[in-house]
């Protein structure tokens, strides 16, 4: 019988599943390709057969990674917004949090998932992620007195993406070609007056 390295069997299973998700995410970031169940098992310190006890197929594992990472990314941004004081500072915290995500290894994972997960399977979770991510932005914009909250929120998201691009080719910066500090400096010059943080 396998050694249970946790106070309860349920907690043991949670830890094993967490290790497998972290392993799959790390391999996605390193290779940009869908990892095999054997590779995920090796990274997590488990046998390939053990991986199938938690995920019935490679596709199920990838879907679980999507379900795991998207809420975590949104939570990072939400925490930054919640810590800010004024409506303008909350909008800025949203912008800064997203710029940081674009410049982090998380963006590599996002690009890898977009390549290896069926677009039909990814569409619903991405729409939910985008809607959840925008909630604190829209609230802050409303508190700021913005008369067209929905359109302004979409415009801010578009500006974040454009400002985070590495160059005119349209590739998102994932290698540090444009530092988050430089991106935020440009965005502050553009939006600081509107947000009252210039």
Distances (CA, A) of 193 to 66, 78, 84, 88, 148: 37, 23, 17, 10, 18
Name the CATH topology of 1-56: Arc Repressor Mutant, subunit A (1.10.10)
* Between 97 and 177, the higher pLDDT residue: 97
Q: Residue ranges of the domains in the chain?
A: 1-56, 63-195
pLDDT at 150 over 90: yes
pLDDT at 1 over 50: no
pTM of the model: 0.81
pLDDT in tens, 63-97: 999 999 999 999 999 999 999 999 999 999 999 99
Rounded CA separation 37/40 (Å): 5
Helix (H, G, I), strand (E, B) or coil at 22: helix
> Which value, in Å, is the radius of gyration of the alpha carbons in the chain?
19
């Amino acid at each position: 019988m396998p050694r249970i390295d946790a106070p309860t069997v349920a907690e043991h299973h949670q830890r094993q599943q967490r290790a497998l998700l972290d392993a799959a995410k790390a391999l996605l970031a390193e290779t940009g390709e869908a990892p095999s169940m054997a590779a995920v098992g090796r990274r997590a310190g488990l046998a390939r057969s053990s991986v199938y006890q938690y995920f019935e197929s490679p596709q199920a594992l990838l879907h679980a990674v999507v379900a795991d990472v998207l809420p975590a990314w949104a939570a990072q941004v939400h925490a930054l917004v919640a810590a800010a004081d004024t409506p303008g500072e909350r909008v800025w915290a949203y912008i800064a949090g997203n710029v940081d995500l674009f410049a982090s290894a998380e963006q590599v994972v996002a690009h890898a998932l977009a390549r290896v997960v069926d677009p039909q399977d990814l569409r619903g979770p991405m729409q939910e992620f985008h809607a959840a991510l925008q909630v604190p932005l829209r609230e802050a914009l409303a508190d700021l007195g913005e008369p067209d909250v929905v359109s302004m929120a979409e415009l801010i998201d578009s500006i974040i993406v454009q400002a985070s691009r590495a160059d005119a080719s349209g590739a998102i910066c994932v290698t540090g070609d444009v530092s988050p500090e430089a991106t935020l400096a440009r965005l502050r010059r553009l939006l600081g007056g509107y947000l009252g943080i210039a």
